[in-house]
Chains A and B, each alone.
Chain A
Amino acid sequence: MTPPERRPFVVHVDDDPDQLNSWRLLVARRGRIDLEVHHPNAIRMEHLERAELVLVDFALERWPERDRLDSIALKPSNGIALLSLLKEALSSDATRRRPAFALYTAVIQDVAMDLVQQPHVVAHAHNIEWIFQKTHPSLELRAEQVENLASTIMNLPHPWPADSSSEAASTLRTWLGIDGGESWHDAAWSSVRRCRPPMHEYAQHTDGLALVRWLLHRILPYPAFLIGEEHLAARLRVSLPSLKAALPTEAFAKIFEPVEFRNGLTRMSGRRWWRAGVEDAVFEIARTAPQDLDTLHRELKERLPELEPSPEADLFPVLSEQLDFEGELANGSEIVEILPDYWPPFADCAWTRKSVLANSSHLRTIAVGQQEGE
């Protein structure tokens, strides 16, 4: 349990606070953050000024005081509107660290409307840090995600160094955990720079919050300088189920734990590994011939017998209609490239199965070579 004086403070705004008693009690039992749940009527400036994280329900229906008003400008219709109002209430105080703002909702589909129901996509579209889903089966995981986001905000360097480029770079490197101790850290830093981290005026303007948002919206969900299980399996040319089987083993930890991305925000996205670190690990494993797949597979199988090497020269993570990664990788003959609107140019290409296109007008719309004139 975290000592009270070191706990982040989270204020949770909901139109029916009593419905969140089990949530509140769970968080209190875990003892990592201080959480208060309030009806919108009860929110005060001191709540916002103390908070590392402000959570707001989306569907604000039980709010008669609001409903009695005539002026539409005084009636935030939903959590998005209320979040904007609360954000701007703080913005006049430039000396104060800003909290993160997130929705906490059971109806992400109502927030997303025509967008894919990916929290990072919907959050980005609505200018907030994240969307926590009440419908997620694990209340403990939700609590951990909220705690980790709040802790991340609390522990951001403050103030963000603005006068020196080298100091900003050094601060970011330390925050990401690649401050030069390992052989692959410089390569990792080069790859971070290619992804245009907002580490100067944006970081200063937002007290580092821009970097949290960059990580949550632009980096963790995509294969860039960090990769998830799917792209790790593809790099090793092994089946994804076999990689998942190997993940909990000590042998896997011995090889890949030193290159895993350690940051509380990965609880939102899943485990991530530094791509430069993976290259380093692969080089160590297959030192005699690092580019030879037979050597790599032989050496991997010796260390991680759970792995099933593939004979394919390349394997591809593939996306579903809602842009979730599927549980199996595909080979080159099964795939077509897609261009989702918000897919970063610095990330690996996005792929889906040709067989999925027939049943998805959305994927057909964004598939390369499927549009008229191409």
Chain B
Amino acid sequence: MPGLRFRFKDLADECEAIKGYASAFLDHQYIGRLSEARGNLETIQAKVAPGRKVTWEIPKDRPLCTNWSDGEFERDGGGGHQIRAEISFAWEITPEAPAGGKPKCFVLEGLASTAVVIVERLEDGSERPLGRWTMDVGDEASPGCHFHVQVCHQDEPPFPKTLPVPRFPSMALSPFFAIDFVLGELFQDRWKTESAAGGNHADRWRVIQQSRLVRFLDWQIATLKRATGSPWMALKEAKPPLNLVVERAS
């Protein structure tokens, strides 16, 4: 069966964890969009008939926004831009038929894209986009690494939609991973310190991400060990098992 299986509860917990974990770095005007995304996921679990594909999203016209980074994307705050990230995603998910009761899992198949737009604030207060990338999960037919990043990918060059390469390998297994990634990029020093601190939200985040990433890396290592030709091509062509994300880490 194609696709990638996730537990509803894991994504809902992840959403709640990153909301608390990253709270000091997310613009609170928009943090309610995380709660709405969680609420929408819970409603999909409760109401959408198994087998029916729906889109679960933070829409691109109402993205989650980080706080402004005043040059903090360089160590010691030496960057020359005041920027923030606007994060949106759209995942096409299909609840699975349960043995009894409501579905516990869904399968991710089809559109699975998380977009990050870097916006700069200029001295006159106006804003302009500086860059964009997407962190995507492929499907059975997609070329390139199954988990990949595409840069720009808009109507005009550079890297227009008509040029879908390169697809850089990624380990973003959920839309919320992108938040952790982006904060590490925009707030090089402060997120490093903040993310290392303990606490309820940090612990929950670590438990979720650590087991997932261990499973991902184990799969990558196993793929490499089986490679008969180019190891890179083996990684590029590998398709994950359906239960990559839900199996317990060894």
Contact = CB atoms under 8 A, between A and B. Distances in A.
Query: Are A and B co-members of a single complex?
Result: yes
A190 B47 contact: no
Interface stretch (A51-59, A88-96, A273-281): A273-281
Contacts of B30: 314
Please list the 3 inter-chain residue pairs (A to B) with the smallest Cβ-Cβ separation, ordered nearest first: A279-B39, A187-B42, A183-B46
Interface of B: 12, 16, 28-33, 35-36, 39-40, 42-47, 55, 57-59, 61-62, 102
Instruction: Classify the secondary structure of B's interface with A.
Output: helix
A267 to B, nearest CB: 27
30 contacts: A183-B43, A184-B42, A184-B46, A186-B42, A187-B39, A187-B45, A190-B42, A194-B16, A275-B39, A276-B39, A276-B42, A276-B43, A279-B36, A279-B39, A279-B43, A280-B43, A280-B47, A283-B40, A283-B44, A283-B47, A284-B47, A291-B36, A291-B40, A291-B55, A313-B62, A314-B29, A314-B33, A316-B29, A335-B29, A368-B28
Interface in A63-99: none
A292 B59 contact: yes
Interface residues of A, number: 28
Contact of B40 (A290, A293, A337): A290
A157 interface: no
A38 to B, nearest CB: 48
Contacts of B35: 348
B43 A187 contact: yes
Contacts of A283: 40, 43-44, 47
A192 to B, nearest CB: 13
Nearest to B56: A291
A186 B32 contact: no
Contact of A279 (B33, B40, B58): B40
B198 to A, nearest CB: 16
A156 interface: no
A314 B62 contact: yes
Nearest to A346: B20
A15 to B, nearest CB: 47
Nearest to A348: B32
Nearest to A333: B29
A303 to B, nearest CB: 18
Given A190-B12, A275-B39, A314 B32 contact: yes
